Structure 1
C-alpha cells in the first residue's frame, strides 16, 4: 500500500474503493493523481486548532522559543498573550513576516493615503492599488497590505480587506501593513483602562468583526504608526499614553499631519513624534511621476513633507540578520520589560497593602487603649458621682416624711441628679474619643453588613434601647408610662450617653413623680378616713372612750405612714439601683460598639493584609522565567 493512502480519510478510501471497478485506467490514474494532490495539500495546511503539533523551529531560536513558552505558563497573568504568540510564531520561522500597524486617530482614508506614500514606487506609474487606497471603504473595515500581484485572489476575511501590492519595500523586508483606525473608546479616553495598558492597546489593535458580531479580535503587530490631525491629536495621544513610556519611537511612532514648515529642518536624533504633510507628499510624488525633470521639486517637497523620517522608521530593525531580525529581539525584550514592570507594580501594591495594614493595626491598638482608659474613668465617675449625689442634702429632701411638702420637687431633684451627676465627664470624653476615631478614619455608626469574623452583637447594642428600672407594682400605674422598645434608626455611639440620659428622664422620672403624689394622697386619704371613723364611733357608741376612739385613728395614721415609707423608700432605692445599672450598661454598650467598629474597620485591611500573599510564588516564577528569556536572548547575540 502506498504511504499516502494512510493519510486518506476512511470515508474517502471506501468511496474510492467502491468506484474503482467502474473507472477506466486513464480515469483511475487521473483520480489517483488528483487524490495525491488533495492529500498533499491537506497535509501541508495544518488547522489552527490542531494540538500537539511540534513546529519546525530553527536550531538557533530553540532556546529562546522554549524560554518564551515557559514564560507564557509562569507569567500568564502578567504577559500579553497576543504579543507572546506573535513572538513565538516569529521564532518558529526562518524569515517570519513583520507586521506594522498604521492607525489613524481620525479618518482611515488619511492613513491609507499615508500608506500609499510609504509603499509606492516613485519611478513607476500609479497602479490600481494606489487608487483603491485613495478611496474610502464603504464597510469601514481595516485594510491589510501584502506583497503580491494585484490580481491575486485571497480568501475573504470579516476582519479586514486584503490588498496585494507589488511593492519593493514589502518584498524586501517581508512586511505586512495593517491600515485601520483607533477605536472610539480608546481614542477618546484620556487614560486607558486598568486591565490594559496603552502600549498593549497600540501594539495589539482590536479589529471589529461583522456588524452583527461586534466582538473585537486582537491583531498583534511588531510596530505601530499612529496618525493624527492637528495639535489636539498630539494632546490626546499624550493623555492616552500617560501610563507608559515610548522608547524614542522604536515600536510606537506618532505622526501629526500639520502644515509644512517654512524652513527645512533635519534632525538625526530619534524621536517619538514626526510632523508630516500628506498633501505635500502626494503632490511631490505626482510631480516626479509626471516628469523626471521635476526631481529637484520632488526632493524639496518630499523632505518638507516629513516622509523620509517615516520611511526610515518603517524599515528600521528589519534587515535580516542571524539568527533573527532585530525587530524580533526588540519584541522579546519589550515583552520581558512589560512582565517585569507588571510584577514590580504588583509587588508595590502588595507592599502598600502590608504597610497600610500595619498602620491600621497600630491605629486600632491605640484606639483600643484610649477606649480602655475612657471606660475605666467612666465607671469610676459613675460610682463616685452617684454616691456623692445620693449622699447629698438635696437628695435627702426626698425622704418619705418630707414628701408632704416636697412632693412637687421630686422631678426637679431627680432630673438634677441625672443632668449633673450621671456620666457628664464621660460624655465629654466620649466626644473627644469620637473625634480621634473620626480623624483616624473610623465611622461613628456600625454598618449593618455582615462580617464573617465579627461577633454576634445584640440588637440593643447596634440600636441602643433604654430599660425602665423596675418600680413597685401599683394598680394605678399606666402602661403608657413605659418606654417603647421600637427604635427606628441606629444611634451614633458618641451620642448614646445623652440618648440614654434622655430616656431616663422621660421614662423613669414621671412615674416616680406620679408615685410620690399617689402615696401622699393615699396617706392623707387613709388618715382622714381613719380619723373620721374614730370620731363617728366616739359619737355613736357611748361605751367608746376618747382614748379608744383615738386609737382607731392613730392605727390608720400609722398604717398609712408605714405603707408610704415602705413603698417610697423601695421605689427610691430601686430608682437609684436602676440609674447605676443603666449607667454601667451604657458604658458597656459604648465600649462594645467602639470595639466592634474598630474590629470591622481593621478587618477590611487586616484580614487581607494578614493572609499569606499567594501571589509571591507566582511573581517569583515570573521573574525567573523573565531571566531565562533574557539569558536566551543574550546568547543569541
Structure 2
C-alpha cells in the first residue's frame, strides 16, 4: 500500500481520491486496498433516488453568478435561448469546464474535417489513426464528428447524433476543449429568413445536429465559439446574406475562414479581422513535407504561414484561459454577455411591437356600446322603412299600372315600373344611414372596411338569349390593364343586393309579361277563328253559339294570364321583401362581427399588456447578471 494512502484519513478517501490516482496505480494496488476502503468507494458511487435534483457542487466564486443566470433563465424564458443558458450554467458549475468549439463548413463537411485535422495534428509525430478516420469517406454521409482528447484506443459511448473520435492533441488537453465538426446551411431564401423565428446568430452558435430518421428533429448543440469555413468568394457573399439580421459584431465568438487560392506572399496575421484567408491544400502539403523529413522544416514553416492556419490557431485558443485557475474564463464570460445582450435585444423588439400596437389605440368600451346602440337603431329603422316603403309602393298608381287587365298596353313598361320601385322605394334611406354609421365607426377608431362582395347571380335568360342570337360574334377586345378602383369604406351589401335584384328578377318578369300577352292574343284569335268557322260551315250553328265559343276562348286566355301574372308579381314582391331583410341583416351582422373582433383584440391586448410585468422581471434579471459580472471583473 502506498504510504500516503495509509496515512490519509479514511473519511476523505473516497471515490474522488481513487479516481484521481493514475490508471496503472489504481490497477496495481486495487487488490491491496483495505476492505473498508473498497466499501467506502462502493457506497460513494451509489446514487439515491431522491438525489436526482441535487444542486451541483458549484465553486464558491461562481455561486452568485450561477444563481443570477438561473434566475434569468426562469424570468426570461421566452426571450432567452435555453440551450446557451444551459451551456453557461454547466460551465459555472465546474472548476475547469470543457470549452465547446464548432467547425462548420458552408460547403462540404469533408473540408471542415480537413481543417480540424490540420489544427490538431502533431507535425512531429506520424499520422494518427484518428487522422485517417477523420479523412476517410465514412463521415461523408453528413453525420457530425466530435473530437475529444484521449488515447486513440479509448472507447466512447456511441451516439446516434455524431461520431466520437479520441484525439491525443496537446491543444485539446492544454485548453480543455472539444471540437464539433459539422455543416452550416446558408442557402436560405430571403422570405424564409424573414419568417423564421431563429436568428442566424443562434444558427451559428447553436448548430443543429440532424437526429436519426426515427425522430427526424434536429438537436441543438450550443458552443462557446464557432469557426465557419467557406470556399471561394461566393461563400463570403452567402455568409454576409445569411448574417444580415445580426446587428452586433461576433468577432470574439465567430470567425470565418475562406479557402482561397494561395498568395505569393505570406498573409498578414490580423487576428481582429472577421474573415481570414486560408488554403487547406497548402497547409496539408506543408504538414506532409515536414513529416517526411525534418530537413523540410523551412518548407513547412513557409507553407504553414502561407496557408493562414497560424491566425486560425491563435483565434482557436484565444480567451480560453483566465488570469488564474479560480477566475472566470473569458470565453465563458463572453458567452454570458452574449446571452444577456440577446435577452435585452428580444425585450426591446417586444417593446417596439407593443408600442406599435398601442399607437393604433383601441376604442374604449363606451364607444363600442354607443356604436352598438346606433347599429340597433339603424337596423330597426331599416326594417321599418323596408316594410312601409314597399307597402306604399305596392298600392301606388304606378304599381296599379301592372294590373293584369292593363298588361296588354303596359307590357313594355314592366321593367321600368319595377326598376322604379327598387330605385326609389327599396332601402334608400337605410343605405344613406349605413354610410353615416360607417363614418362614426371610422371616427371611433374602427378602420375596417365594411364591404361585402357576394357574387352576382347569373341571368340564365340573358345567357340563353345571347346563345340563340344568330348575329356573328364581335372580335375579342384586347385585354384591359385598368385597375379596379378600391371599394368604398362603407357597407355595400344593400346596393349590391339591389343590383342583383335588378339583374336577376326584372328580365324574367319582362319576358313573362310579353309571353302571356302573346299567348292570350293567340288563344283569343284561335277561339274567334274557330267560332267563325263553325258559324259558316254549320247551318245549324247559330250566331249566339259561335259567340259563346269565341267568348269561352277569350275568358280562358284572360283567366290564365291573370292567374300566372298575379302569381309572378306575388313571388317578385316576396323576393324583394326577403332580399331587403337579408341585406339589412347582413350589414348588421357585419358590424357586430367587427365589434366582436375588436373586443377580442382588446382582450388580447390586455393579455399582451400583462407581458409588461414579465418583461420588467426579465430586465431585472438581466441587471442582476450584469451587476455580478461587473463585480467579478473588478475582482470583488
Check conservation: 1:360, 1:606, Cα contact below 8 A. no
Q: Deviations over 1:560-618 (max 9, x none)?
A: xxxxxxxxxx99xx999999977974773464144235335645645533556332222
Shift, 1:102, TM fit:
1.2
1:415 aligns with 2:431: no
Tell whether the 8 Å contact from 2:206 to 2:222 is kept in structure 1 after alignment.
yes
Q: Deviations for 1:473-506, whole angstroms, at most 9, x for unmatched residues? A: xxxxxxxxxxxxxxxxxx9554122335567757
1:431-488 Cα deviation digits (max 9, x unpaired): 99999999965363499xxxxxxxxxxxxxx999xxxxxxxxxxxxxxxxxxxxxxxx
Indicate conservation of the 8 Å contact 1:430/1:494, yes or no.
no
> What residue in structure 1 maps to residue 205 of structure 2?
203
- Quote how far apart the aligned CAs of 1:512 are: 11
Match in the other structure for 2:170: 168
Q: CA deviation at 1:625?
A: 0.8
Partner of 2:188: 189
Is the alpha carbon distance of 1:208 and 1:360 closer, same or farther for their aligned partners in structure 2, counting shifts above 3 Å?
farther
Equivalent positions of 1:617-628 (< 5 A) are: 617-628=613-624
* Distance (whole Å) between structure 2 residues aligned to residue 116 and residue 578 of structure 1: 88
CA gap 1:206/1:42 in 2 versus in 1, 3 angstroms: farther
Question: Are the equivalent residues in 2 in contact too, given 1:382–1:423 (CA < 8 A)?
Answer: yes
Conservation of the 8 A alpha-carbon contact between 2:200 and 2:245: yes
Match of residue 335, structure 2, among 315, 331, 337: 331
The answer to whether the Cα contact below 8 Å between 1:496 and 1:590 also exists between their aligned partners in 2 is no
Q: 2:259 touches 2:278 (CA, 8 Å); kept in 1?
A: yes
CA distance in 1, matches of 2:112, 2:322: 27
2:275 to 269, 273, 276: 273
Q: What is the 5 A alignment of 1:194-233?
A: 194-210=196-212, 212=214, 214-233=216-235
Partner Cα distance (1:294, 1:309) in 2: 22
| C-alpha contact (below 8 Å) 2:148/2:166 kept by paired residues | yes
Moved more, 626-635 or 256-265: 256-265
| CA displacement at 1:621 relative to structure 2 | 1.3
Equivalence for 1:341? 345
Q: Deviations over 1:320-344 (max 9, x none)?
A: 3342110010011011111122222
Distance 1:59 1:30 in 2: 37
Q: Is the 8 A contact 1:370 1:433 kept in 2?
A: no
Residues 258 and 612 of structure 1: CA distance in aligned 2, closer, same or farther (over 3 Å): closer
Q: Residue 137 of structure 1: SS of its match in structure 2?
A: helix
* Other structure's SS at 2:138 match: coil
Could you tell me which runs of 5 or more consecutive residues in structure 1 were left unpaired when the two chains were aligned: 9-28, 448-461, 465-490, 518-569
Partner of 2:251: 249
| Deviation of the 1:38 alpha carbon | 7.0
Matched length: 521
SS in structure 2 at match of 1:176: strand
Note the C-alpha offset of 1:281. Answer: 0.8
Match of 1:84 in 2: 85
TM-score normalised over the length of structure 1: 0.65
* CA positional deviation for 1:67: 0.4
2: CA distance, partners of 1:608 / 1:96 = 45
Displacement of 1:430 in angstroms is 9.7
Could you tell me how far apart the structure 1 residues matched to 2:181 and 2:585 are? 70
CA offsets, 1:266-322, max 9 Å, x none? 263623222211011111222333344444433332222121221111011112334
Q: What secondary structure does 1:442 align onto?
A: coil
8 Å CA contact 2:497–2:579 kept in 1: the answer is no
Aligned to 1:112: 113
Q: Report the secondary structure of 2:137's partner residue.
A: coil
1:107-127 deviations in whole A, cap 9, x for unaligned? 332222211211223344433
Change (3 A) 1:506 1:209: closer
CA offset digits 1:159-196 (Å, max 9, x no partner): 333333332222221111122234xxx44434557343
Counterparts in 2 of 1:72-471, with a 5 A limit? 72-138=73-139, 141-182=143-184, 186-190=185-189, 191=192, 194-210=196-212, 212=214, 214-245=216-247, 247-266=249-268, 268=270, 270-322=272-324, 323-356=327-360, 358=362, 411=414, 414-415=417-418, 417-418=420-421, 420-423=423-426, 442=449, 444-445=451-452
- Please tell me whether the aligned partners of residues 100 and 221 of structure 1 are also in contact (alpha carbons under 8 angstroms): yes
Gaps of 5+ in 2: 1-8, 16-29, 458-491, 519-565
TM value normalised by structure 2: 0.65
CA contact (8 A) 1:422 1:583 kept: no
Range moving further from structure 2, 66-75 or 195-204? 195-204
Once the two structures are TM-superposed, the CA of residue 632 in structure 1 deviates from its matched residue by 0.8
Could you list the per-position Cα deviations for residues 219-276 of structure 1 after superposition, in whole angstroms to 9, with x for gaps in the alignment?
2211111222233333333333333346243212222222123444426362322221
Q: For 1:382 and 1:370, how far apart are their aligned partners in 2?
A: 18
Q: Are 1:630 and 2:623 counterparts?
A: no
Q: What is the CA-CA distance between 1:68 and the residue it aligns to? A: 0.8
d(CA) in 1 for partners of 2:330, 2:170: 20
**Distance in 2 (alpha carbons) for counterparts of 1:210 and 1:405:** 86
Cα distance, 1:137 vs structure 2: 2.6
Q: How has the CA–CA distance of structure 1 residues 38 and 160 changed in structure 2, closer, same or farther, with 3 Å as cutoff?
A: farther
Given that 1:379 and 1:587 are in contact with CA atoms closer than 8 Å, whether structure 2 keeps it comes out as no
- Relative to structure 1, the CA distance from residue 408 to residue 240 in structure 2 (aligned partners, 3 Å threshold; closer, same or farther) is closer
1:479-558 correspondence to structure 2 within 5 Å: 494-500=495-501, 505=506
Matched, 1:614 2:610: yes
Instruction: Give the 3 Å change call, closer, same or farther, for CA 426–116 of structure 1 in structure 2.
Output: same
Q: Is the 8 A contact 2:145 2:165 kept in 1?
A: yes
What CA RMSD, in Å, does the superposition of the two structures yield over aligned residues?
Answer: 5.5
